Amino acid sequence: MAQGNKKQAKSHYVCRACGASFPKWAGQCSECHAWNALEENLTSPNAGTSRFAGYTGETIPQILALTDVESEQEARSTTGSPELDRVLGGGLVEGSVVLIGGDPGIGKSTLLIQTLARLSMKLDTLYVSGEESPRQISLRATRLGLPADKLQLLPETCVERIIAIAERERPHVMVVDSIQTMYTEQLQSAPGSVSQVREATAQLVHFAKRSGTAVFLVGHVTKDGSLAGPRVLEHMVDCVLYFEGEAGSQFRLIRTIKNRFGAVNELGVFAMTDKGLKEVSNPSAIFLSRQAETVPGSIILVTREGTRPLLVEVQALVDESPLANPRRVTLGLEQNRR
């Protein structure tokens, strides 16, 4: 019996640290030298064949002279949060893709649902949830007292269906929570794998640039604090924000790691309350003890985070030690600094 020409899915291995692809498994990635980082992925025989095939004379990109490109100032929309606008570089840019990462429970979803609720009063918004049900999101919005009557929800994890619905609804701002739960039908690997995260992000970035929709992507972080998924993920987006916070503290910090439309290392300060995240307009106040008199072992210094000057109080407590080498313990400072 003659065998058909049906193609089978091919297996390859992708490094979860750098995204490099290899035909065979190895204990160490030859590109970034990470150990035990290669994951098996199955690629559909038809995946990626339609992306570059079939170019006609009308679809081939044309070379442009730099002087022919319009250099108008990008239009920005305020999010209603001065601290979030600060880390974004002055507001949300049309067609931009913002990746925000942080520890579980730090407040990423709370911040974005608050932001979308404010923006929905003047713009069309869409909240795509791959982790929480619409009922959970509705209960959170009700608990926070948000004006959510115009906020649209979409419980979906397939990128192709999300983009199809977004193309029809044409939202100005869209939140995808989270990118690790999204998958594309072009790949057969599980959601959250290196190839799925990379391909899903690429499709969402392409949609944002083509439609002008500003997209927020929520990303998980690993144990060492870096964003989960391939390292190339941070290069694909326009802005990368890290949500930070000390255990047991009500204060949250958003730090800009990358921003194509503004300065990096900008810092936004929030306080977690029973009504959600509130902006801290004077963050220097939370770093000072406000003692009426000067106290030995305490100094106040002026530091700078991005464009914001901060007053920080540093305290030192010294006691006698019977050990030959006294032990030094620091909190909030680098242990090895002298």
pLDDT tens string 22-31 = 888 899 999 8
Contact (CB, 8 A) for 154 and 193: no
The mean pLDDT value for 262-284 works out to: 90
pLDDT at 219 over 60: yes
pLDDT at 92 over 50: yes
What's the pLDDT band for 40 if we cut at 50, 70, 90? confident
pLDDT at 211 over 90: yes
* Residue matched to tokens 């290196």: 194
Instruction: Give φ, ψ of 113 to 5 degrees.
Output: -70, -35
Q: Which residue has the higher pLDDT, 249 or 184?
A: 184
Report which of 278, 272, 264, 271 is spatially closest to residue 308, judged by C-alpha positions.
Answer: 264
Distance CA 133, CA 151 (A): 15
In 55-158, which ranges are continuous DSSP H helix?
Answer: 82-87, 108-119, 134-144
Instruction: Give φ, ψ of 205 to 5 degrees.
Output: -65, -45
Beta carbons within 8 Å of 332's beta carbon, 6+ residues apart = none
Q: Is the previous residue joined to 193 through a cis bond, with omega within 30 degrees of 0?
A: no
What type of residue sits at position 257? I
Distance CA 283, CA 251 (A): 10
The mean pLDDT value for 184-191 works out to: 84
Q: Over the stretch 220-234, which tens digit does the pLDDT of each residue have?
A: 887 666 666 666 788
| Gap between the terminal Cα atoms of the chain | 79
Q: What is the DSSP letter of 50?
A: H
pLDDT recorded at residue 152: 93
CA distances from 137 to 51, 118, 142, 154, 287 (A): 35, 15, 9, 11, 34
User: Percentage helix, strand, coil, to 5, in the chain?
Assistant: 25, 30, 50
Contact (CB, 8 A) for 140 and 110: yes
Report which of 229, 235, 233, 232 is spatially closest to residue 37, judged by C-alpha positions.
Answer: 229
Structure tokens at 119: 């923006």
Name the region of 14 (left: φ>0; alpha: ψ -120 to 50; beta: rest).
beta
Distance CA 280, CA 249 (A): 14
CA 143: distance to chain centroid? 25
Distance CA 52, CA 47 (A): 11
What's the pLDDT band for 276 if we cut at 50, 70, 90? very high
Question: What CATH architecture does domain 74-281 belong to?
Answer: 3-Layer(aba) Sandwich (3.40)
pLDDT recorded at residue 338: 56
Average pLDDT score over the chain? 84
Q: Over the stretch 102-151, which tens digit does the pLDDT of each residue have?
A: 888 899 999 999 999 999 999 999 999 999 999 999 999 999 999 878 88
CB atoms within 10 A of CB 112: 21
Where is mean pLDDT largest: 70-74, 182-186, 300-304?
182-186
Beta carbons within 8 Å of 30's beta carbon, 6+ residues apart = 20, 22
